Structure 1
Amino acid sequence: MQTITLGRTGLVVSRLILGGYPFGGVNRAHDWDPWSAAGRATAIGTVNHALDRGISYIDTAPSYGAGNSESIIGEVMKPRRDECVLATKVNWEGRSRRDVIDSVHASLDRLQTDHLDIVQFHGGFYTPADHDHIVSGGPLQALRELKQQGVIGFIGITAEEPWTALPFLTEPDIDVYQLAYNLIYQSAARHILNAAREHNVGVITMRTMTSGILQRTVRQLAPEWARARDVYRTALEFVLADSRVHAPIVGMRWPDEVDLNVDLVESFAPDFDLADLPRMTAHIYQAEDAE
């Protein structure tokens, strides 16, 4: 598995991240239920297989199935904790310093570990008031204290609307940014990815595979395209081809999904950088004229 250094954290991680949401979410259309005994056993097998295939970064959250995802991953972490970078999240809305500390300790218990490599503020759209609460209202102070105690290694933040995370880049203690960025939602490319690179923070993507939105869209508009694996491959390669992104998160339920994604990552070597893709009509004209 290819590896990369996660910005200024210095952590060396795989170019593919195992996303923990599927271990908390039921998908009956595909006979997926991680709450059942059989589903839980399959999920544990998938996490083990991901580590076996060289995935060395696992991302989860306490809200994924009310702790079920963390619990499943914890079953694997107990004997294999030193094989990966482990990241989880905390809710900050209306939460005090004490609430955040308690949340992290509850995650530690479910994940069966005494330390976390990355803990991220779990959010989507940040207003100025949200920024002030996180930075000055107790949540960031809580994670700073846990970092000083060695309970967590680095602090991060997640953002569904990437541009709203821009004000946090001036905070030296926030080192990892998990941003919604994919083939059909490219806001981050114009609003934060360049600034994130300038600050040398770690950048990982959520919604890498568009959360199935692209697949459902083309199924309606171009069913012959939807049946092709190229849709999936193109979505993953889009993110891998952007040098401003360190690693994408992909949710994987079964071991064969792990194999599919690992094989795609290992076989892809972009000969272009999507960081240089023109994103304004005038710039497209200029690029075409230059070509």
Structure 2
Amino acid sequence: METRLLGRTGLEVSLIGFGGIPIQRCNQWEVDEIIENLIEEGVNFIDTARAYTNSEKMIGEALKQWGREHFFLATKTPQLRYDDVIADVKASLCDLQTDSIDLYQFHNAKTMAAYETIMGPGGGYDALADCKKQGLIKHIGITSHSYEVLERALEDDRFETIQFPYNIVENRGAPLFEKAKLSNVGVIIMKPLAGGAFMNADYALRWVAENPNISVLIPGMDSVKQVLDNAKIGNDFVPLSETERQTLEADAKALGKTFCRRCGYCAPCPQGIDIPMQFIVEGYYRRYDLEEWALDRYRSFAANASDCVSCGECEPRCPYNLPIREMLTKTRELFDPLV
């Protein structure tokens, strides 16, 4: 597996890392198999978060079996203030069953006001700095979907890593990564597959990996097959050919800008709708000539777009500010006449 330096942390991390958000829907034995195969494929970086329900706990159980020493562990807190951050660090240590976490990050600092709270008196940064002095964590990072927040973080020069979405559609981060490289700050790429929206996952990952300023890509994985497929990119990295690049660009053009990244932050829906899956099957129907398959999947859902009551609880939780209710209406209008 190709490795890259994670900025000033000094950690030599695998080009392909493991994104821990989707294993929330896995059983423990499935996570155990995933961790085993990560080791075999040379993946040595795991990213999870307090907000990913039981992800930390299942990873901790799997590492108890397969060995903590194989991985650099990264997790995240959504908390902003000192005491709350301390509580989350202690919970993470317990759930991951480890004495020290390699990288602890602030999770999705959405606004400059949130950032100022983290960095201000009684804020979370001081909490992580104290945890680092105590050896509970080794490095401090920050994640965000806001370019401006991470640009400010780089200016303050107190974080060792940043994490930001980046793929052929969401490519705004490239100048940010150049600045990070100059400051010796590690760059972690979330959403390299745009939440699974691309038909050619291989091409999408290679497009991201071509950027020399990034350190590690963390596609979410919830199966051994995904581990094996994604690890191939790091184990035998080859830049895109012109034909492959044109294919990916056509895929991206068809996708557009307003699409679901399957991050899952919109959940839970009070009506029991798996919102990302609604948009996935719609995409397969509209863009990929899989009409019958998509319609069968839509019919199989216990709750679907037709059950949306437009309560709006999902929309404030979406980091991309998607008009989810409007999108669900379009999904309903597509499928309901066919069901």
Q: Give 1:10's aligned amino acid.
A: G
CA distance in 2 between partners of 1:239 and 1:177 (Å): 16
CA distance in 2 between partners of 1:234 and 1:172 (Å): 33
Which residue of 1 is the match for residue 191 of structure 2?
Answer: 207
Which residue of 1 is the match for residue 42 of structure 2?
Answer: 54
Contact 2:4 2:12 in 1 (8 A): yes
What is the CA-CA distance between 1:271 and the residue it aligns to? 8.2
Counterparts in 2 of 1:100-119, with a 5 A limit? 100-119=85-104
Structure of greater Rg: 2
The TM-score with structure 2 as length reference comes to 0.67
What is the CA-CA distance between 1:207 and the residue it aligns to? 0.5
The TM-score with structure 1 as length reference comes to 0.78
Work out which of the residue numbers 190, 195, 201 in structure 2 matches 1:232.
201
Alignment length (residue pairs): 239
Contact 1:162 1:180 in 2 (8 A): no
Counterparts in 2 of 1:109-188, with a 5 A limit? 109-127=94-112, 129-137=113-121, 138-188=123-173
Work out which of the residue numbers 231, 241, 249 in structure 1 matches 2:210.
241
CA distance in 1 between partners of 2:237 and 2:181 (Å): 22
What is the CA-CA distance between 1:9 and the residue it aligns to? 0.9
User: CA 1:171 to 1:152, structure 2 compared with 1: closer, same or farther past 3 Å?
Assistant: farther
CA distance in 2 between partners of 1:6 and 1:125 (Å): 23
What is the CA-CA distance between 1:7 and the residue it aligns to? 1.0
Contact 2:9 2:160 in 1 (8 A): yes
Which residue of 2 is the match for residue 253 of structure 1?
Answer: 222
SS at match of 2:104: strand
Which residue of 2 is the match for residue 76 of structure 1?
Answer: 62
| Deviation >6 Å, runs of 4+ | none
What is the CA-CA distance between 1:257 and the residue it aligns to? 1.4
User: CA 1:146 to 1:181, structure 2 compared with 1: closer, same or farther past 3 Å?
Assistant: same
SS at match of 2:164: strand
SS at match of 1:200: coil
Which residue of 2 is the match for residue 9 of structure 1?
Answer: 9
What RMSD over aligned residues (CA atoms) do the two structures have, in Å? 1.6
Structure 2 residue 77 is matched with structure 1 residue 87: no
Which residue of 1 is the match for residue 32 of structure 2?
Answer: 44
- Which protein is richer in strand relative to its size? 1
1:95-114 deviation line (CA, Å, top 9, x unaligned): 42111001110011110001
Percent identity, aligned pairs only, is: 34
